[in-house]
Structure 1
Amino acid sequence: MPYHTAHLPPPLFVPRMSSAIAFIGGGNMAASLIGGLIAAGRPATELRVCEIDADRRAWLAQTFGVDTFEAAADAIAGARGVVLAVKPQQMRSALGGLTIAPGTIVVSIAAGIRLDTLQRWLGEGLHYVRCMPNTPALMRSGITGLYAAPTTPKDARQLAEDILGAVGDCVWLEDETQIDAVTALSGSGPAYYFLLTEVLREAAAALGLPADTAKRLARQTFIGAARMAETGTDVALLRAQVTSKGGTTEAAVQHLETAGLRRLFAEALAAAARRSAELGELFARED
């Protein structure tokens, strides 16, 4: 209930916060986070989801045992943290008319939406954390770049890290503009590896391998190389170890270097980072 005294006018009603985490949006990334949190030991009773699609709400409730809501206001009532997990293009309408209690921790995983934009939409008095996960989070093998203003309290940072850490590794950034570089590297990065695997299998088929054989070889080489990188050995050293002087690998690597592979990737990441910044400006202009 609201707090009243005989000497002061009634203050704004601030619901007592629970340990609940509410998700606005119940798509694939939200489902991955929910599953990861439950696997990490957080009770399903502490998780809520707002999802406008009735079939999706039913699936989330059945799969995870969480409470689901059609209205965002019902899902977030009294929650300690709110995860914004709708598509960036839908964010403004999803948050329209929504009032979040002061002190709530707001964790956004929406690409391109800056903290000042969220603050303009939702108001001051909230603790904002902006995150950029990537799709391997769906396999609990992701990595997320996180940024929060220097004044953000430690418990807000910790909750954000607990949520995103349930699906992979986390790195904190010193400046929000670095999110654009994270988007270009790890956010878009899985597509680069998939494209490289695609190109390798096509080149191998052109050399005469059956398409299915080329597909299996390219995919498993990708998987095996990634597992070697997981050992912590620097990838440059791993590359050197497999590149025998005068051998086949050296011939291929020298050709890639001469053809400007490093320059192409530098330009590709720059293009992705530039687009990320452009999207931030675009969303910032929304009323």
Structure 2
Amino acid sequence: MTDMLRAAGAVVWRGDEGDPEVAVIHRPRYDDWTFPKGKLKAGEHMIAAALREVREETGMSVVLGRALPPIHYLNKGRLKRVDYWAGQSSEGEFTPGEEVDELVWLPLSAARDRLTYAWDAGLLHALAAAPLATTPLVLVRHAVAGSRQDWTGEDALRPLDSVGRAQAATIAQVLPAYRPQLLVSSPSLRCVQTLEPFSSDIRLEPLLSEEHQDGDKTPALVGEISVPAAVCSHRKVLPHVIHTLSGKDVHLRKGAFAVLHRLGDQVVSVERYSS
């Protein structure tokens, strides 16, 4: 069976979230109007690919919001999946080039009329279906740290292994999508090392550890975070925190993460990703 082609992009928006404008690009090679997107490079995380493709095709950096429904279609007889996110424009300026020669900012109704493909127009419905300006909370299960049974020292000092270090490097490439202003971690070394490739400015919280977690205090601690943030903890801690905050049952593999998009105290969407 032929592997599915993977691509990623964003519906880039600006202005009033109640009446936003979106960026629609023209590609001379195909003579079409569409949203910025492109194929994943080998080993590239789809979130990192979305950031890169938006930057390459529009010149802009974005802050990712909610995931939008993925698009599937046949490309030369091969199934292709494109993952999209809402992306708020934050900085940068468009410069015409060979791949993209024109970019226009349009309100949703005009963008729908301009777009070449019906599936792109469908993304606009999803964009308008829930709040755009949300606050991301990234909850990370620590990366792979070898076998607990094979480690002879104190468990809190068990470090990441080579697989875990690669996962941590991927997480560092993904976190810029959410612009975290705060990093919080269990004091366990494997949790700290999972976030360190992104930044060493990490606040340690014993309530996020396996030994000192509390069924009420730990979710309250995380729920009180009001800025974009990344939190790293353990398998025995995170499912309860996520369920308490969102009502969703989410279990994470080592190195995986959940993104909770919040509007005040309300969680409007929950996404789960591997690294």
Q: TM-score, normalized by length of structure 2?
A: 0.27
Structure with the larger strand share = 2
Which is richer in helix? 1
TM score, norm. by length of structure 1: 0.26
The answer to which structure, 1 or 2, has the higher relative contact order (CA under 8 A, 6+ apart) is: 2
Tell which structure's C-alpha radius of gyration is larger.
1
